[in-house]
């Protein structure tokens, strides 16, 4: 049960970015703060805000209301040095120009839908084809490109933000109005908790995820091929040339897809098609909807460790071979393999694969999923 606590809002005399800034500090958890700054405006003039979450230990996460985007997560290395371990851009204007979903919430449907259509109760629904003849990540105007409403999240042991968006009936071809809530919480246990809920007024399909690119050595430090990865997945989804799953759940044993034991990301990547992991893994799940262990990433030089727990049935591993120096900050440019995505989600093309876990949401039901990123350091 969420325990409400009182927050004191302290208005800053000078904002570090465009517009006014405020800090919300809990009276019961004074080490945790939520700072809010206006960082720009949408083309229609609507204000865009950035929420900076800080826990009692000094860990920091920043979230834009544009795309409900997780821009940076700062955690210490074994020497206590803080770095952002997510890839980011310098300004809201940079995000508005276009980016490969750096930290954005993706929806209504993450990943691909074959033929850009699906059926519900015998009725065919056609969604926007934006990946050849297929649909990907919610279409041309998916959740990642929209402005969300937001407010500070008031919990006793965490600093957080709640973001809300109402997607209209027919948006990108999806049936029904979908009311979505996404919350980010940075807890005093050094966990980043992302919770998704959604309700609809017509039968529809939903699959939400966050598309952060992780580099535990620090953004801009180089590639992630030496990161050590473990996935709690004995099977994965083979796909065709357009990345549409065949429907088979294939064992990873004895293949280059096997991360059931710790292995560096780059150990066998040259043997993977296109020399790039972009595959959905079937997580080993027990019955129930509680988050369970999905992945562990270790960066040996910094000592940083990230463990991922989720209620979702799958995780898309993406190693970002096609990042280029077109994406840059004032201090560095990105390149191939500079980030690692672990997109917890339902399976691609689930609306057209009856054997996959269902993504159908009906009126009166609530879509609810949770993913937890737990940060630590090994000596």
Q: Does a structural domain hold residue 217?
A: no
Is position 292 within any domain?
yes
Cα–Cα distance measured from residue 375 to residue 306, given in angstroms and rounded to the nearest whole number: 5
The last residue of one of the domains, among 181, 210, 239, is 210
Angle of CA points 199, 205, 211, to nearest 5°: 90
Tokens of 179: 């009311």
Q: For 159-202, what is each residue's pLDDT tens digit? A: 999 999 999 999 999 999 999 999 999 999 999 999 999 999 99
Is the residue at 149 inside a domain? yes
Mapped onto helix, strand or coil, the DSSP state of residue 214 is strand
Please state the φ and ψ torsions of residue 92, each to the nearest 5 degrees.
-60, -40
Is there a single domain that holds both residue 105 and residue 167? Answer: yes
Looking at 161, 179, 210, the residue that finishes a domain is: 210
pLDDT tens figures, 121-153 = 999 999 999 999 999 999 999 999 999 999 999
15-64 pLDDT tens trace:
333 455 677 766 566 679 999 999 999 999 999 999 999 999 999 999 99
DSSP 3-state of 133: coil
- State yes or no: is 171 an active-site residue: no
Distances from the Cα of 245 to the Cαs of 50, 62, 114, 231, in angstroms? 37, 34, 9, 19
Identify the CATH number of the domain in which residue 198 sits.
Answer: 2.70.98.10
Residue from 211, 279, 338, 373 carrying the catalytic annotation: 211
Q: Given its phi and psi angles, is residue 183 left (phi above 0), alpha (psi -120 to 50 degrees) or beta?
A: beta
Residue 219 lies in a domain: no
Shared domain check, 235 and 132:
no
Domain presence at residue 153: yes
Whether residues 163 and 285 share a domain: the answer is no
**Are the CB atoms for 32 and 55 separated by under 8 Å?**
yes
Q: Are residues 247 and 117 in the same domain?
A: no
Tokens of residue 149, six digits: 């409403």
Same domain, 183 and 245: no
Residues 205 and 232 in one domain: no
Find out whether 275 and 378 touch, Cβ atoms under 8 Å: no
Residues 37 and 173 in one domain: yes
Residue 237 belongs to domain spanning: 228-343+355-365
Same domain, 60 and 156: yes
- pLDDT category at 6 given cuts 50, 70, 90 is very low
Per-residue confidence at 111, pLDDT binned at 50, 70, 90?
very high
148 phi/psi in degrees, rounded to 5: -105, 150
Mean pLDDT of the residues in the chain? 93
pLDDT tens digit string along 363-373?
Answer: 999 999 999 99
Give domain status of residue 218, yes or no.
no
**Residues 184 and 236 both lie in one domain:** no
Neighbour tally for 41: CB within 10 Å: 16
Domain end, chosen from 177, 210, 243, is at 210
Say yes or no: 184 and 237 in one domain: no
Q: Does residue 193 sit in the same domain as residue 294?
A: no
DSSP conformation letters of 283-352: ----SSSS-EEEEEEE-TTT-EEEEEEESSSEEEEE--TT--TTSB-SS-B--TT--BEEEEESPTTGGG
Q: Is 211 a catalytic residue?
A: yes
Asked if residue 246 and residue 206 are part of one domain, the reply reads no
Residue at 168 is within a domain? yes
* Straight-line distance from the first to the last Cα atom of the chain, in angstroms, rounded to the nearest whole number: 35
73 found inside a domain: yes
User: 4 near 15, Cβ under 8 Å?
Assistant: no
Q: What is the reported pLDDT for 4? A: 38
**How many structural domains compose the chain?**
2
Structure tokens belonging to residue 120: 């519900």
């Amino acid at each position: 049960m969420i325990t409400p606590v009182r927050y004191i809002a302290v208005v800053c005399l000078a904002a570090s970015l465009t517009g006014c800034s405020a800090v919300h500090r809990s009276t019961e958890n004074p080490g945790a703060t939520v700072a809010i700054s206006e960082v720009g405006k949408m083309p229609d003039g609507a204000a865009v805000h950035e929420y900076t979450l800080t826990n009692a230990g000094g860990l920091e996460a920043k979230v834009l209301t544009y795309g409900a985007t997780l821009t940076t997560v700062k955690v210490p290395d074994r020497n206590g040095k803080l770095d952002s371990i997510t890839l980011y851009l310098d300004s809201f204007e940079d995000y508005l120009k276009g980016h490969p979903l750096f930290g954005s919430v993706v929806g209504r449907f993450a990943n691909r839908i074959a033929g850009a259509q699906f059926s519900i109760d015998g009725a065919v629904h056609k969604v926007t084809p934006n990946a050849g003849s297929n649909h990907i990540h919610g279409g041309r105007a998916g959740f990642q490109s929209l402005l969300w409403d937001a407010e500070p999240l008031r919990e006793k042991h965490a600093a957080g933000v709640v973001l809300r968006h109402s997607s209209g009936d027919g948006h990108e071809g999806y049936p029904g109005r979908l009311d979505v809530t996404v919350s980010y919480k940075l807890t005093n246990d050094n966990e980043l908790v992302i919770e998704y809920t959604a309700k609809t007024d017509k039968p529809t399909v939903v699959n939400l995820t966050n598309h952060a690119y992780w580099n535990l050595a620090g953004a801009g430090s180089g590639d992630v091929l030496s990161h050590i990865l473990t996935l709690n997945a004995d099977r994965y989804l083979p796909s065709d040339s357009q990345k549409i799953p065949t429907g088979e759940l294939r064992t990873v044993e004895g293949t280059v897809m096997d991360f059931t034991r710790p292995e560096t990301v780059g150990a066998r990547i040259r043997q993977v098609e296109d020399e790039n992991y972009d595959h959905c893994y079937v997580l080993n799940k027990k019955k129930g909807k509680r988050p369970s262990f999905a992945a562990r990433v270790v960066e040996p030089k910094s000592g940083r460790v990230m463990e991922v727990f989720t209620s979702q049935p799958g995780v898309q591993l993406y190693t970002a071979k096609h990042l280029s120096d077109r994406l840059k900050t004032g201090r560095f440019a990105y390149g191939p393999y500079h980030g690692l995505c672990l997109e917890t989600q339902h399976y691609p093309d689930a609306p057209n694969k009856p054997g996959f876990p269902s993504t159908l949401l009906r009126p009166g039901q609530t879509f609810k999923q949770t993913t937890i990123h737990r940060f630590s350091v090994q000596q």
